Amino acid sequence: MDDQLGRLYKDALAASSDGEGLKTEQKAWLSSRNQCKDSDCIMKAYTDRISALSAMTAQAKAGDFTGTYKMKDDGAAGEALIQQTGNDRIKFYINATYRMNTGELSGEIPLIGNSATYIDKEFDCTISFAFASGSLDLTQNGSCGMGLNVSAGGTYKRVSSSPPKFPE
């Protein structure tokens, strides 16, 4: 049970947006477990903690990636609005800039686990979405009609988990 709990804790920590809070919670659980005087108490402590960590990692794997993500990097900036629609699709809007040039892109695409891919052959465009805890990595291949030197590519940090308002 200790090995199982260790794996679940590692997974929960990797998926958590509040790693320090989870570490504090784990230390409190360890202190509580160490108070046990018999094997029944220890078994119950492990069973309860494994259940709690399993719920955390299941929620993180199902993921709710809804929110506003922002990126800023040496003259380039971007904002990505994401609305998860069920467990298998996301609606997105990306606004990217490079110095004075701007570009926009939007769509709705299938979500597979923590990733999605947008493809538009007409604009020679592929954008890969990779969600991680509190961040979004976008990789752009092709011009995507975004404008001179404008790319949606980069690492975006989630600044809000509220459902975004999409431009009309």
* CATH at residue 72: 2.40.128
Q: Domain residues for 126? A: 67-160
pLDDT at residue 75, as a whole number: 80
Query: pLDDT value at position 102?
Result: 93
Task: Give the pLDDT means over successive 10-residue stretches in the chain (168 positions).
Answer: 90 75 90 94 92 73 79 89 86 94 94 90 92 90 88 92 87
pLDDT value at position 12? 80
Q: Are residues 58 and 8 in the same domain?
A: yes
Backbone angles phi, psi at 87, to 5 degrees: -85, -5
Together in a domain, 134 and 85 = yes
The verdict on 43 and 72 lying in the same domain is: no
Rounded to an integer, what distance in angstroms lies between the CA atom of residue 135 and that of residue 158?
5
pLDDT of the residue at 166:
93
In a domain, 165, yes or no: no
Domain assignment present for residue 167? The answer is no
Do 73 and 151 have their domain in common? yes
Q: What pLDDT score does 59 carry?
A: 58
pLDDT score, position 167: 87
Q: How far is Cα 38 from Cα 151, in angstroms, rounded to an integer?
A: 60
pLDDT at position 22 is 85
Res 54: pLDDT:
81
pLDDT at residue 73, rounded to an integer: 83
Domain shared by 153 and 82, yes or no: yes
pTM more than 0.85: no
What is residue 92's predicted lDDT score, i.e. its pLDDT?
A: 97
Return phi, psi of residue 119, to 5°.
-130, 130
Amino acid 60: pLDDT? 57
Question: How many residues can be counted in the chain?
Answer: 168
166 part of a folded domain: no
Determine the 3-state secondary structure of 28 from DSSP.
helix
User: What pLDDT score was predicted for residue 133?
Assistant: 77
Is residue 168 a part of any domain in this protein?
A: no
